[in-house]
Amino acid sequence: MSALHFARPLLAALALLAWLLPGSARAGEFLHIAVTAAVTSQEGLPAYQKLADYLTQRTGSQNKMIGDLSYRTINAMLRAGAVDVGFICGYPYTELKVRQPDLTLLAAPVPVGARYQHRPVYFSELVVNRGSAFQSLDDLRGKRLAFNSDISNSGYNMPRFELVERGLTKGFFGSTLQSGAHDDSVKFVAEGRADAAFVDSLVLDDMLRRKHPAAAQIRIIASLGPAPAPPVVARPGMPLEQRNGLQRALLEMDQNPQGRAILAELGIERFVRVSDQDYQPIRDWARRAKQANFMVIR
């Protein structure tokens, strides 16, 4: 495994440590924002810093943004109140909502692109190396699958449900490999370390927009979905006035010239309101896998 694969979580851990050091502890004038790798590639994080700056500008506060953290880490920080706002994956949202019923949905993105039909949805893309002969999921029996996280909706929950629906629960893949992030899954497939991966269409869109070399080396052979888009959430206990101000800033971004420019860089049309019920399909997919006693892809 490459040094880069080990360096990425190390750098994220160092950034988290700096966040928690004395002098950088949360204070009332700061808005702490965490961005998961569910919504963008590593190269896209600077654009999310622009979004964080925009939100704090509109709400009259300063911000501290951290990105590239694992889903479980961001969930833990939201529970502890170390993060005010999280751009998170839908499956971790459903898990966190069980423990923290007062977690608040602020909004969800409507991605740019005809396939999204102006709705807050996205897809799980099954990708293979461009030079391979694979044409469908059936061709991947006995092959090696990369996945970003076992609590990822597009990287694990949706594919697991697909395998259950097809009756492929007795050991379909030859082996699996956890990459740590969707863009790393794409790199693993491009470099031949994995035969295939299920990746978030939003992250793949971002990589393609930025002409990432790995994105040019893969192709999509199947799409699962649509699924409810990764939500933006506010920590439990956030003051109502602050929460409403953040939600308003997100929902009105497309009406502001500066906001529109940032949205365009992110590949987002606008942010829209969503409800907890919108994420019920994610719960249903997970429940179906549990009923089939197939929680671990194999």
Which one has a higher pLDDT value, 107 or 21? Answer: 107
Please report where in the chains the tokens 């160092």 appear, as a residue.
Answer: 14
pTM over 0.85: yes
d(CA 197, CA 165): 18
Percent share of the chain, pLDDT over 70:
90
What are the tokens at 213?
């070399």
Task: Answer whether 3-113+229-277 and 121-227+286-291 agree in fold.
Answer: yes
Over residues 20-26, the mean pLDDT reads 43
Domain range summary for the chain, segments of one domain joined by +? 3-113+229-277, 121-227+286-291
Q: Could you tell me the pLDDT band of residue 8, with boundaries at 50, 70 and 90?
A: low
Half-sphere exposure (Cβ direction) of 169: Cα atoms closer than 13 Å = 16
Amino acid, res. 268: I
Instruction: Calculate ∠ Cα 19-8-121, nearest 5°.
Output: 85
- Dihedral angle over CA of 258, 268, 197, 42, nearest 10: 10
Phi, psi (deg, nearest 5) at residue 163: -65, -40
3-state percent breakdown (helix, strand, coil) of the chain, nearest 5: 45, 20, 30
Which one has a higher pLDDT value, 110 or 69? Answer: 110
Provide the pLDDT for residue 40: 86
With a CB cutoff of 8 Å and minimum separation 6, the contacts of 268 are 109, 110, 111, 112
Any idea what DSSP says for residue 81?
Answer: T
Which one has a higher pLDDT value, 26 or 113? Answer: 113
Phi, psi (deg, nearest 5) at residue 275: -120, 165
Half-sphere exposure (Cβ direction) of 70: Cα atoms closer than 13 Å = 14
The dihedral sign for the CA sequence 178, 282, 43, 59:
negative
Provide the pLDDT for residue 30: 83
Any idea what DSSP says for residue 230?
Answer: P
Which one has a higher pLDDT value, 214 or 8? Answer: 214
Q: What is the chain's alpha carbon radius of gyration, rounded to the nearest angstrom? A: 19
Which CATH number is 3-113+229-277's, of 3.40.50.300, 3.40.190.10, 1.10.287.10, 3.10.180.10? 3.40.190.10
Please report where in the chains the tokens 């979580």 appear, as a residue.
Answer: 9
Q: Give the number of other Cβ atoms within 10 Å of residue 237's Cβ.
A: 12
Q: Using one digit for the tens of pLDDT, what is the confidence trace for 252-290? A: 999 999 999 999 999 999 999 999 999 999 999 999 999
What are the tokens at 75?
């969930």
User: Mean pLDDT for the chain?
Assistant: 91
Q: Using one digit for the tens of pLDDT, what is the confidence trace for 42-100? A: 888 999 999 999 999 998 888 899 987 889 999 999 999 999 999 999 999 999 999 99
Provide the pLDDT for residue 183: 94
Which CATH number is 121-227+286-291's, of 3.40.1160.10, 2.120.10.30, 3.40.190.10, 3.40.50.1100? 3.40.190.10
Instruction: Classify each residue of 62-87 as buried b or exposed e, where b means 16 or more C-beta atoms within 10 Å of its C-beta.
Output: ebbbbbbbbbebbbebbeeebbbbbb
Whether residue 181 has pLDDT greater than 80: yes
Over residues 211-224, the mean pLDDT reads 97
